[in-house]
């Protein structure tokens, strides 16, 4: 292997590891969740239920395709005035043919009513360490700062509504707010500090069952391993996202996770400490050298290689057979894409579709209200920042045709940003300062610039087909007379048909995409 080959592999690992850790950290408690302020009765019941929260530690073994690769734990300590929650995830992740030791830790301070007071989050990897800290400001905002090596601190003030708790307590919230019942629905408003994005989480109770859980272990001198000693039978309910990919797991009546699934064939299963940690630590050397079929899947699912940039639009049309997943909840159908199971057909927009039916000089009545969601300022998408606005106006120049402005922005971002894999969550203002990044940074800056001049824009996330391989990719869509895909990373206006959109919404939805990658099967079908 040459030095250049090693460097490319290391860059692939950076992005893969960051995306995977953000995802796994979300699953084990690095995010935050807020109950809807409107559901005041639920908030009251939650505060009452919080008094019944028992201190203690839950241990979970982390398995991939049935093989232990790490452990996770959630510890709850209670005092008269606070609830202290510490979440930890540690694993040897197989990525791009290597085994990477990685961990994520979250320490959160809550009131006795489970209202957030402050938190610290740390992600440790050899190539992509990150840390973040935040605190509540009154009851309507979170003051938040995120740091990564070599990057300026990204500080934000994010509005929230209602009492705030963390995902490690999502099971407790879902179970203790009201008695669980199969067919029931629990609605929570979520906030993820890794992306500083808020969204609504709806969990449906799909099933009820009995589980046998190991609660103590004994040492077996013959095998030099710990084995189950005592078990307990618990009743649990299966919670799953009602809106497509999201949290899926079994939760008992006390709000503790019995089993939860994660992307890439990863499962977290409750067990005794010795089985979760001691046995895994003993087997680390063997596990690190054992072959695994999941590594290539993870690499293909999340790697963004900065060197894979086509010189021009390669496909006007592309047909792909999609298999291995339930596509419900994904944005496969609409606009340039048509999905008729199992085939996804993508067609590049014709020139006629690039002629806008409105003008930036005089938008139609009600236009800004209709497109408010795709014109507004968001965390990490600083549309009203003076530097963003000034640059957007300069690039647009005297043009008032939305299509002309969109093409100018596409060319400027393509020409002005160095194509390099980044290991931080992209902020539009930060990208403007550094002038470098991969598809996420290009899409983030373009979207902020477009919105700054009144051009509705949103981020699509999915896969791109380049040189016979599928790669994770993100690109913007702009509103002309319909949504049109553009690609400032590849310099394409419009983007070619090799862009397969799975979700719309940018960073907040990338987790949804990553959750399906372990099972996703794609095959390019020749066009007839």
Count up the domains in the chain and report the number: 2
**Domain boundaries, position 252:** 17-294
Same domain, 240 and 366: no
Same domain, 383 and 413: yes
- The region of weakest confidence among 95-99, 222-226, 228-232, 356-360 is 95-99
pLDDT band with cut points at 50, 70 and 90 for residue 163: low
Q: How many CB atoms lie within 10 A of CB 353?
A: 18
Give the whole-angstrom CA distance, residue 143 versus residue 198. Answer: 14
Whether the link from the prior residue into 342 is cis, omega within 30° of 0, is yes
Question: Is residue 98 pLDDT above 70, yes or no?
Answer: no
pLDDT of residue 95: 55
| Residue-wise pLDDT tens digits, 106-150 | 888 888 777 778 888 887 776 567 788 888 887 777 787 777 666
Q: Can you read off the two tokens belonging to residue 229? A: 């000693």
- DSSP letter at 381? B
pLDDT band with cut points at 50, 70 and 90 for residue 102: confident
Q: Can you read off the two tokens belonging to residue 474? A: 């993100």
pLDDT band with cut points at 50, 70 and 90 for residue 471: confident
Inside any domain, residue 4: no
| Residue-wise pLDDT tens digits, 283-310 | 764 444 344 433 333 334 333 443 566 6
Give the whole-angstrom CA distance, residue 62 versus residue 259. Answer: 10
DSSP secondary structure, 408-447, as one string: HHHHHHHHHSEE----S---HHHHHHH-EESHHHHHHHHH
Same domain, 62 and 202: yes
pLDDT of residue 387: 94
Inside any domain, residue 150: yes
Q: Can you read off the two tokens belonging to residue 119? A: 């938190």
Same domain, 324 and 473: yes
Same domain, 286 and 377: no
Q: What is the mean pLDDT of the segment spanning 223-247?
A: 84
Q: What is the mean pLDDT of the segment spanning 210-222?
A: 88
CA 129 to chain centre: 17
The CATH number of whichever domain residue 397 belongs to comes to 3.10.620.30
Identity of the highest mean pLDDT range in 217-221, 241-245, 414-418, 428-432: 414-418
Same domain, 278 and 346: no
Give the whole-angstrom CA distance, residue 188 versus residue 241. Answer: 11
Question: Do residues 179 and 251 lie in contact, with contact meaning Cβ atoms separated by under 8 Å?
Answer: no
What is the residue-averaged pLDDT of the chain? Answer: 78
pLDDT of residue 253: 86
Inside any domain, residue 143: yes
pLDDT band with cut points at 50, 70 and 90 for residue 209: very high
pLDDT of residue 88: 85
Inside any domain, residue 6: no
pLDDT of residue 40: 45
Inside any domain, residue 81: yes
Inside any domain, residue 9: no
Inside any domain, residue 474: yes
Inside any domain, residue 3: no
Same domain, 286 and 314: no
pLDDT band with cut points at 50, 70 and 90 for residue 228: very high
330 Cβ neighbours under 8 A, 6+ residues apart: 244, 245, 502, 503, 512, 516
From 271, 294, 317, the end of a domain falls on 294
Identity of the highest mean pLDDT range in 75-84, 158-167, 377-386, 388-397: 388-397
- The region of weakest confidence among 172-186, 238-252, 280-294, 413-427 is 280-294
More confident residue, 443 or 95: 443
- DSSP letter at 152? -
Give the whole-angstrom CA distance, residue 371 versus residue 374. Answer: 5
pLDDT of residue 28: 40
Question: Is residue 335 pLDDT above 80, yes or no?
Answer: yes
Question: Is residue 2 pLDDT above 70, yes or no?
Answer: no
Which of 109, 74, 108, 100 shows the shortest CA–CA distance to 89?
Answer: 74
Same domain, 212 and 321: no
pLDDT band with cut points at 50, 70 and 90 for residue 215: confident
Same domain, 283 and 417: no
Same domain, 415 and 376: yes
What do you get for the CA distance between the two ends of the chain, in Å? 41
From 245, 264, 294, the end of a domain falls on 294
Same domain, 436 and 320: yes
Same domain, 313 and 283: no
pLDDT of residue 16: 47
Strand duo 418-419 + 436-437: pairing:
parallel
From 262, 294, 326, the end of a domain falls on 294
Q: With 0-12 CB in 10 A as exposed, 13-18 as middle and 19+ as buried, what is 325?
A: middle
């Amino acid at each position: 292997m040459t030095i250049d080959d090693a460097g490319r592999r290391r860059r692939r690992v950076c992005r893969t590891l960051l995306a995977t850790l953000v995802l796994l950290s979300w699953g084990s408690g690095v995010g935050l969740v807020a109950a809807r302020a409107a559901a005041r009765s639920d908030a009251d019941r939650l505060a009452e239920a919080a008094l019944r929260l028992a201190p203690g530690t839950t241990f979970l073994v982390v398995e991939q395709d049935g093989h232990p690769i790490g452990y996770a734990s959630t510890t709850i300590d209670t005092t008269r005035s606070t609830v202290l929650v510490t979440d930890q995830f540690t694993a040897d992740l197989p990525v791009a043919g290597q085994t990477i030791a990685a961990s994520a830790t979250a320490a959160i301070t809550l009131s006795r009513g489970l209202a957030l007071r402050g938190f610290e989050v740390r992600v440790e990897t050899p190539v992509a360490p990150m840390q973040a800290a935040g605190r509540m400001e009154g009851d309507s905002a979170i003051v938040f700062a995120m740091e990564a090596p070599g990057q300026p601190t990204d500080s934000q003030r994010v509005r929230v509504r209602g009492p705030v708790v963390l995902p490690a307590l999502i099971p407790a919230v879902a179970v203790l707010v009201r008695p669980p019942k199969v067919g029931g629905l629990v609605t929570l408003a979520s906030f993820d500090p890794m992306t500083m994005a808020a969204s609504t989480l709806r969990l449906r109770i799909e099933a009820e069952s009995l589980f046998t859980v190991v609660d103590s272990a004994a040492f077996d001198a013959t095998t030099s391993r710990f084995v189950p000693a005592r078990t307990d039978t618990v009743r649990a309910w299966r919670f799953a996202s009602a809106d497509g990919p999201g949290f899926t797991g079994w939760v008992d009546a006390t709000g503790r996770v019995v089993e939860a699934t994660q992307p890439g064939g990863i499962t977290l299963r409750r067990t005794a400490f010795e089985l979760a940690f001691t046995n895994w630590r003993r087997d680390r050397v063997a596990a690190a050298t054992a072959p695994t079929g999941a590594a290539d899947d993870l690499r293909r699912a999340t790697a963004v290689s900065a060197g894979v940039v086509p010189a021009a639009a390669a496909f006007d049309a592309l047909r792909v057979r999609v298999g291995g997943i339930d596509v419900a909840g994904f944005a496969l159908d609409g606009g340039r894409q048509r999905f008729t199971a199992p085939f996804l057909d993508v067609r590049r927009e014709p020139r006629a579709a690039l002629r806008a039916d409105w003008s930036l000089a005089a938008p139609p009545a009600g236009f800004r209200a209709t497109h408010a969601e795709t014109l507004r300022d968001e965390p990490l998408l600083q549309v009203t920042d003076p530097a963003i606005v000034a640059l957007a106006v300069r690039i647009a120049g005297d043009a008032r045709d939305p299509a002309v402005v969109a093409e100018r922005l596409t060319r400027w971002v393509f020409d002005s940003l160095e194509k390099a894999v980044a290991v931080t969550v992209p902020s539009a203002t930060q990208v403007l300062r550094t002038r470098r990044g991969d598809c996420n940074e290009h899409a983030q800056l373009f979207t902020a610039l477009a919105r700054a001049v009144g051009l509705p824009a949103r981020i699509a996330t999915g896969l791109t087909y380049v040189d016979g391989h599928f790669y994770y990719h993100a690109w913007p869509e702009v509103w002309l007379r319909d949504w049109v895909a553009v690609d400032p990373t590849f310099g394409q206006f419009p983007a070619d048909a090799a862009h397969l959109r799975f979700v719309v919404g940018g960073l907040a939805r990338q987790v949804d995409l990553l959750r399906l990658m372990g099972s996703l099967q794609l095959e390019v079908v020749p066009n007839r």
